[in-house]
Amino acid sequence: MHAHDAPGAPAPANAPRAAGAHAAGGAFCTGAVRRPTLLVADDEPDIVDLLREYFEGAGFDVLAATSGEQALAAAAHDPDLVLLDVGMPGLDGYETCRRLRGHLSCPILFLTARVEDVDQLEGFEAGADDYVLKPFSLHTLGARVRAHLAREERRQRRASVRFSGDVTIDYALRSVTVRGVTVDLTRREFDIAAFLSKHPGQAFDRDRIHEQVGGWENESDPQVVTEHVRRIRRKLAEAGSTQDPIETVWGLGYRWRA
């Protein structure tokens, strides 16, 4: 039931690490970037301690639990990934996973000695993303964790980007490009483009756009929206866009081309 490779291999949690040392396959790193948080739940304290020492030494924050009930309470801290033992007494791993899935969308990996297909099927039906069989290698488990976190980051990254013809909007980076060429939009112009593009095909009048974008300061007249839209269109065209993504809805306002 125990991990089988050198508990002393990882650096202690308080050991100094080189600046910019990576965890999660380069998606996360120590330093200025937020450390990813793992929730580790296993009824064997030795395994919990081993995993906590290993992952803290690898640049993670670790929430520890030795029961399903403790795991549910720790989930309030919004972990990035959950390592969950199947065979905990009381609230077992399957039921804990089902309850966690009602609140968490992060990857959940089961730690288990059960190798039957029926057990794995039950785990996947409960909402698990992967199985790790005991005894496990710490380094292999670490690689599995990093792979899942990297996949989750890619998924979230895709959700923060919209492609519209030859125009790409990255909401996280607040950037707009046309076929890879950056379009130099002002803060207000980007906010308008972002708002419209998040609701493709839906028409908004100038008052609604003015209200939803907010922060106009000295530009209190909704008619200024018209001028900002004109500038957005001009800049996209100058960057090489062949189709205006903002459509005028006569008598109403504007919509982003669906």
Cis peptide bond N-terminal to 135, omega within 30: yes
* H-only helix segments in 18-137: 45-57, 68-74, 93-101, 117-126
* pLDDT higher than 80, residue 29: no
- Which range is least confidently modeled, 119-128, 149-158, 183-192, 232-241? 149-158
Residue ranges covered by each domain of the chain: 22-159, 161-256
Assigned fold of 22-159:
Rossmann fold (3.40.50)
How far, in Å, are 8, 35, 59, 65, 143 from residue 22 at the CA level? 20, 10, 7, 25, 12
Structure confidence by residue, pLDDT tens digits, 96-130: 999 998 888 899 999 988 767 787 888 889 999 99
Q: What's the pLDDT at 25?
A: 37
Which percentage of the chain shows pLDDT scores above 70? 82
Output the average pLDDT for the chain. 83
Q: Which CATH class is domain 161-256?
A: mainly alpha
How many percent of the chain have pLDDT more than 90? 57
Of 154, 144, 166, 187, the C-alpha closest to 241 is 166
Q: Which residues of 248-258 are buried (b: 16+ CB within 10 A; e: fewer)?
A: eeeeebbbbee
Beta bridge partners of 167: 164, 178
Q: How confident is the model at residue 27 (pLDDT cuts 50, 70, 90)?
A: very low
Identify the burial level of 180 via C-beta atoms within 10 angstroms of its C-beta, where 0-12 means exposed, 13-18 middle and 19 or more buried: exposed
Per-residue confidence band for 216, with pLDDT thresholds at 50, 70 and 90? low
Same fold, 22-159 and 161-256: no
Those residues whose C-beta lies under 8 Å from the C-beta of residue 225, and which sit 6 or more positions away, are: 192, 206, 209, 210, 253, 254
Q: Give the model confidence (pLDDT) of 60-77 as tens digits.
A: 999 999 999 999 999 999
**For residue 137, is pLDDT > 50?**
yes
